Structure 1
């Protein structure tokens, strides 16, 4: 058996590639590619393997979309698609696993060292209970872990495409603006990079200001420097919505094992996030508030939990 396997973490904006050492459980040769409209996954993989001067016979593709039994896998937030059988044939693979990107993130969690986590509230986790994982990036990913006979099993799903309830009059106005734009408004329309922009632009409309094109990075930067009141308002709403959504996940499976936040957005403003209404929104669950107050929330600051988790998943599948 080849010591190295290929692992990928393919999101709506970036594709990450690495070699996973099946003996030492370590990642190496991590490479990030910004996806272009006409990119072909097989070509990206071949280019990566040529650059590393390595041959592999196993791979785990973690990708941001629903995974079924079909041969063709089609992404949700960009135009990338691929055929499993073609990858196996063209790369001469003996084993190919294809999993949701947040399934991969979830498998990293039991193996992450404490220095890769920042705790925000709650007590100690009870690992006899389930764990929830979610995260905002190009989209909103969701997964759960349950412990079955001392083995963690991931429950994948598309929870980012559920609806997010509003609880204040101002939030109702934001939702009304997004309904004009999207019709049905999923949680992902609030909790993603584009979600920050959606909230900001809705606030501009509510305040009778002209809507401008802007990136989430600029909104975050202006909020952190307190140089734009509406940017600050937008980022605060984002943190509040993250808390409410996470608390809903915690209640759904009573995740006393903890709630983990992944994705590339929150780690960029972790100190702001700690001081935001996030935890209050997480815990404000009426008669069930006492239940979620105990549940710890962790922000994952490991740079590549999806790649690492893809390797763990592949390794587990060999046992």
Structure 2
């Protein structure tokens, strides 16, 4: 594949674009709001027409990779947490591309993990990762992504997982109350229903109801900001509950995969919490697995602070054999 290559990282809220002008070198990085465009093709067209993209050689793009927050099975893609839908082949033809590879966003994110340095991460407890061991990945944003890497003789194999949709597991009375509140709205309460941007709002409403207070109509970023600044007791409780729940989910993933190579946390929410995650109950809950507490105490957890890790993963994926892209 020749350069530049077009990369896109599509979530339920934002669409991030970049051009890879040489191996590992990104240019014209731009973030667009998904809500501003009727479909993915409209956002792609807008990006390719920007002055930054054109200066980086957008008119010469023939190969592209898209990481999208959705399972990929066949040609048709219908997003879970946004209304965009598209045919991969029709999009390739529309933009006159020689190749268009589309993968789950956390598959791409997983492939970035071995390439990240400690300056792109923040460690949250644990010891040293054991080389050539399974690695786990999860991250909360508009949804809850889950993936991982399995070592093999041919290199790392990413998991094509939809683990965010496993059933939510409460660990104390408050979380049982939150689950019962959520059951009033959803027959199946997945981990994603609570460990996500919309989940922060659901937890907020549940805690307000349990304290017999009127919930304000506020968005997830406001809940996070008020909680971090201790401007709202309920918002502070939301962040505490969120980190506890995330710790349980991360610990479940660690024991499920035997992820002694570490657990990595991406997504849009946790990196914005800064050092709050270090002060929260996350690590205690991560290790709270009875007879496997010692096992988990040794597994390091890393928060990904690199702003565009999915592009790093897309670059790695497009350099591999086609089998690495198979869903």
In the alignment, the residues of structure 2 paired with residue 128 and residue 161 of structure 1 have an alpha-carbon distance, to the nearest angstrom, of 28
What does residue 73 of structure 2 align with?
A: 68
Q: What is the rounded CA distance, in whole Å, between the counterparts of 1:220 and 1:49 in structure 2?
A: 34
Question: Is the CA contact (8 Å cut-off) linking 1:196 and 1:216 kept in structure 2?
Answer: yes
Shift of 1:227: 2.0
Distance in 1 (alpha carbons) for counterparts of 2:166 and 2:32: 29
> C-alpha distance in 2, partners of 1:226/1:89?
52
Q: Which residue of 2 aligns with 1:146?
A: 150
- Contact 2:37-2:43 within 8 A present in 1 as well: no
Corresponding position of 1:29: 28
Tell me whether 1:260 sits opposite 2:264 in the alignment: yes
1:85-96 mapped onto 2 (5 Å cutoff): 85-96=89-100
* Contact 1:16-1:307 at 8 Å conserved across structures: no
2:173 corresponds to? 169
Equivalent in the alignment of 2:223: 219
- For 1:60, what is the secondary structure of its paired residue? strand
Q: How big is each residue's C-alpha offset from its partner over 1:215-258, in whole Å with a ceiling of 9 and x where there is no partner?
A: 11211122112221111111100000110000000000110000
Cα pair 1:27 1:308 within 8 Å, conserved: no
Q: 1:183 Cα deviation (Å)?
A: 2.2
TM superposition outliers: structure 1 runs of 4+ over 3 Å? none
Aligned residue number for residue 12 of structure 1 = 12
2: distance between equivalents of 1:181 and 1:102?
Answer: 28
Match of 1:249, SS state, is helix
Q: For structure 1, which segment, 128-137 or 223-232, has the greater mean C-alpha deviation from structure 2 after superposition?
A: 223-232
Is 1:309 the counterpart of 2:308 in the alignment?
no
Distance across 1 between alignment mates of 2:32 and 2:217: 25
Give the distance between the partners of 1:194 and 1:109, measured in 2 at CA.
Answer: 27
Residue matched to 2:102: 98
| Aligned match of 1:56 | 61
Residues 267-309 of structure 1 show CA distances to partners (whole Å, capped at 9, x for unaligned) of: 1112111000000000000111111111000000000111221
Structure 2 residue aligned with 1:46: 45
Paired residues for 1:133-212 under 5 Å:
133-149=137-153, 151-212=155-216
Deviation (angstroms), 1:37: 6.8
Give the alignment partner of residue 246 of structure 1, picking from 247, 250, 255: 250
Cα RMSD (Å) of the superposition? 1.4
Unmatched tracts of structure 2, length 5 or more: none
- Counterpart of 2:294 (choices 282, 290, 302) is 290
Give the TM-score of the pair, scaled to structure 1: 0.96
TM value normalised by structure 2: 0.94
For the 8 Å contact 1:38–1:79, the answer to whether it is kept is no
Q: How many pairs does the alignment contain?
A: 317
Deviation at 1:184, TM superposition (A): 1.3
Tell me the secondary structure at the aligned position of residue 318 of structure 2: helix
* Greater alpha carbon shift after TM alignment, 35-44 vs 96-105: 35-44
Matched position secondary structure for 1:36: helix
Q: How many Å separate the matches in 1 of 2:154 and 2:101?
A: 23
Measure, in 2, the Cα distance between the counterparts of 1:80 and 1:311. 24
